[in-house]
Amino acid sequence: MDSSLPSTKDLTSDNITANVTAINSKCKDLRMKFLLECLVTHLHDFARETRLTTSEWEAAIKFLTEVGQTCTEVRQEFILLSDVLGLSLLVDSIDHPKLPNATEGTVLGPFHTHEAENVQHGSSISADKDGEEMLVFGTIKDTKGNPIPDVKVDVWEADSKGFYDVQRADHDGPDGRGVVHSDENGEFFFTGIVPPCYPIPHDGPVGKLLQKLGRHPYRPSHFHFMFEKAGYDHLITALYRRGDPYESSDAVFGVKSSLVVDIGIVSEVEGLAEKCNAAPSKRLMKHDFVLLTDEESKVLRYQKALEALQKQDGTKLEIVNGLLVPHS
Amino acid sequence: MDSSLPSTKDLTSDNITANVTAINSKCKDLRMKFLLECLVTHLHDFARETRLTTSEWEAAIKFLTEVGQTCTEVRQEFILLSDVLGLSLLVDSIDHPKLPNATEGTVLGPFHTHEAENVQHGSSISADKDGEEMLVFGTIKDTKGNPIPDVKVDVWEADSKGFYDVQRADHDGPDGRGVVHSDENGEFFFTGIVPPCYPIPHDGPVGKLLQKLGRHPYRPSHFHFMFEKAGYDHLITALYRRGDPYESSDAVFGVKSSLVVDIGIVSEVEGLAEKCNAAPSKRLMKHDFVLLTDEESKVLRYQKALEALQKQDGTKLEIVNGLLVPHS
């Protein structure tokens, strides 16, 4: 036995938190030590404040086990759980603070895959014959207004019935997803379909939870985008269709006003039909995206970490590589 | 859409908690509403205080998924996780407050099953030929000292190699577990084996977590007991062997001084060899258990709920059936 560790005998509701934290404090990874200390404190406070009963604890164990066992290679029920509890949106907003003119982020959701293939400008990412074809046209700039070429743009959307490719029984390859790259003018375009609103998978434990809470499982019509280029902050976002019945009640809290767009037609934008070789009557989703540089993001993150540190016991914490850790 | 619900658009790190709580507040089960409000608040505060990063969130999703997928019919990794974080012991101490002279509770652990068969007084619950036979003799009384007859005593222990029956590849029925009933004097006895210390299953995600935290996975030698009788508070407890190398560093925080016992031999207790028809040289674990009545437990639980209510915003909460709930 390591004699520098406290005894773990005779723990009560009053002393157990300090004791578990002391035992965990031998962790050599300071960031992990801090995460565990915070986690154990909140977990225990939750049990103490609610006076959690043994049968409620048993129900929670059963629920979490079911959530884990519902996960497959193509279904991530824990991400869904995080989404419906607002944690996913919160973590994105914490980890990717934005300057006022930069494009806001939103939830990744559980349906991003690494299967998407490269598509040429103008090509279609969707094989869905029931979908209404839609040109997606985007520009990518930095916060000073300079176009950013060669950004990897990973896009994905549900089919016209509200299912992602991986949710379909006949799934045998990517559909409704693709990777395009911005050109020298920071522009990209491709053809998708007008995305529908749809319920998140609600035949599992998370769906049952929503039902018990009296909540609906719907997400408004949206299209996912992920932007990646060395030197720029990774942006996970989506565009939402204005006027969708679920625009103000997204089950996973992802909608932001700045990401709500009209879906018009190509002819409404002068010269676009010619530029993209698209029918003037084709539906159109168009947006100007603005990325932060890594440097801008780092400064913002540091400022926010400093604010968080000042709200807590600053004598115990410091900022290392932009992360809060206990003083070593 | 239900127009009485707040809009969920434009959520930020500052407003998301109140908003998620408002959406969840339509829950008709008031206790569940309260649990969710507390849970979401602590979960979000944890993310905000640590400034949780997207990659840490991803690691947590992966970890929880692995914990869920490690669970089988005979392995409960989420209970192990709860155990090593001190939550299991905490919930037991919250839900089963004790009078000073009553037997303390401890962790259930992940190895209780409903397979155990009834055993007669004196019979053996163990088929382990490598184990050292041990007489287990107990008395059960109420807090006033009156014996309690006909209590169902559910007992389980690891074999001499430190494994419960369900952990063995050749498991095909209960071993090292049984159900006995106290007689008219509140006494019960049966034969088990001297329990070994052993590591909790540490080849899964919880084992890896302990390793990262620099913690060992061992539990001191112990024997599990569960007491059940209508009119009495359900008691889950265990007896720990005095002098075990892990007596003061149990990986799951279960040891209490009042539950630590000497393992002696039968002849040390006058008349016991005859009474139990046991060899005088046989090892002996003996203990006097004291149960609370349901009524005593209810009063204690109400007092504790009242204390918890007074620590929080008492104008928002009330106690219904001994549980904290929001004012309806």
State both tokens at B45.
């505060």
CB contact under 8 A, A324 and B1: no
| Nearest by Cα to A288 from A139, A137, A103, A135 | A139
Question: What residues of chain A lie within 8 A of the CB of B76, using their CB?
Answer: 61, 65
Residue A131 Cα distances to A163, A196, B229, B326, angstroms: 12, 9, 63, 47
Angstrom distance (rounded) from CA A315 to CA A309: 9
As a whole number of angstroms, the longest Cα–Cα distance in chain A is 78
- Any idea of the CA torsion for A109, A110, A113, A118, to the nearest 10 degrees? -30
CB contact under 8 A, B257 and A9: yes
Check: CB of residue A190 under 8 Å from CB of residue A124. Answer: yes
Q: For the segment B186-200, what is each residue's pLDDT rounded down to a tens digit? A: 999 999 999 999 999
B156 vs B314: which has the higher pLDDT:
B156
Q: What is the mean pLDDT of chain B?
A: 94
- The pLDDT value given to residue B224: 98
Categorize the per-residue pLDDT at B1 as very low, low, confident or very high, splitting at 50, 70 and 90.
very low
| Nearest by Cα to B141 from B99, B186, B101, B179 | B186
| Nearest by Cα to A190 from A123, A127, A266 | A123
- Any idea of the CA torsion for B157, B162, B163, B168, to the nearest 10 degrees? -140
CB contact under 8 A, B76 and A68: no
Burial class (CB in 10 A: 0-12, 13-18, 19+), A327: exposed
Give the A window 81-110 contacts with B, CB below 8 Å.
82, 85-96
Whether the CB of B318 is below 8 Å from some CB of chain A: the reply is: no
Q: How far is B293 from chain A (nearest CA, A)?
A: 17
The vertex-A113 CA angle with A94 and A159, nearest 5°, equals 105
CB contact under 8 A, A71 and B57: no
Check: CB of residue A102 under 8 Å from CB of residue A232. Answer: no
CB contact under 8 A, A42 and B44: no
Whether the CB of B35 is below 8 Å from some CB of chain A: the reply is: yes
Name the residue among A5, A32, A44 with its Cβ closest to that of B90.
A44
User: pLDDT in tens for each of the 328 residues of chain A?
Assistant: 455 667 789 999 999 999 999 999 989 999 999 999 999 999 999 999 999 999 999 999 999 999 999 999 889 999 999 999 999 999 999 999 999 999 999 999 889 999 999 999 989 999 999 999 999 999 999 999 999 999 999 999 999 999 999 999 888 889 999 999 999 999 999 999 999 999 999 999 999 999 999 999 999 999 999 999 999 999 999 999 999 999 999 999 999 999 999 999 999 999 999 999 999 999 999 999 999 999 999 999 999 999 988 888 767 899 998 899 998 7
Check: CB of residue A83 under 8 Å from CB of residue A200. Answer: yes
Report the predicted TM-score, pTM, of the whole model to 2 decimal places. Answer: 0.94
Name the residue among A24, A36, A79 with its Cβ closest to that of B61.
A79
| Strand extents, DSSP E, B168-320 | 177-181, 187-193, 198-199, 218-219, 222-228, 235-241, 260-261, 264-265, 283-291, 317-320
Angstrom distance (rounded) from CA B140 to CA B185: 8
Whether the CB of A114 is below 8 Å from some CB of chain B: the reply is: no
Chain B residue with minimum CA distance to A87: B44
Spatial CB neighbours of B184, under 8 Å, sequence gap ≥ 6:
B147, B149
State both tokens at B176.
């090292």
Of A79-88, A221-230, B113-122, B204-213, least confident by mean pLDDT is B113-122
Question: In this complex, how many residue pairs, one in chain A and one in chain B, have their CB atoms less than 8 Å apart?
Answer: 260
Categorize the per-residue pLDDT at B4 as very low, low, confident or very high, splitting at 50, 70 and 90.
low
Exposure on the CB side of residue B84, measured as CA atoms within 13 A: 27
Q: For the segment B10-58, what is each residue's pLDDT rounded down to a tens digit? A: 999 999 999 999 999 989 999 999 999 999 999 999 999 999 999 999 9
- Residue A160: what are its φ and ψ, rounded to 5°? -65, -15
- The pLDDT value given to residue A4: 64
Residue tagged 């959520």 (tokens): B11
- The pLDDT value given to residue B170: 87
Whether the CB of B247 is below 8 Å from some CB of chain A: the reply is: yes
- The pLDDT value given to residue B287: 98
Chain A residue with minimum CA distance to B95: A53
Mean pLDDT of B52-78: 96
Chain B residue with minimum CA distance to A66: B68
Angstrom distance (rounded) from CA A301 to CA B59: 20
Q: For the segment B242-252, what is each residue's pLDDT rounded down to a tens digit? A: 999 999 999 99
- The pLDDT value given to residue B3: 54
| Nearest by Cα to B273 from B284, B289, B288 | B284
Question: What residues of chain A lie within 8 A of the CB of B304, using their CB?
Answer: 51
Burial class (CB in 10 A: 0-12, 13-18, 19+), B84: buried
Whether the CB of B8 is below 8 Å from some CB of chain A: the reply is: yes
Q: Which residues pair with B152 in a beta bridge?
A: B181, B228
State both tokens at B33.
């509403």
CB contact under 8 A, A38 and B61: no
Q: How far is B61 from chain A (nearest CA, A)?
A: 6
Name the residue among A23, A34, A96 with its Cβ closest to that of B50.
A34
Whether the CB of B213 is below 8 Å from some CB of chain A: the reply is: yes
- Residue B199: what are its φ and ψ, rounded to 5°? -85, 145
Angstrom distance (rounded) from CA B234 to CA B227: 6
Whether the CB of A30 is below 8 Å from some CB of chain B: the reply is: no
Name the residue among A52, A212, A257 with its Cβ closest to that of B27.
A212
Angstrom distance (rounded) from CA B150 to CA B36: 40
Mean pLDDT of B286-298: 97
Burial class (CB in 10 A: 0-12, 13-18, 19+), A74: middle
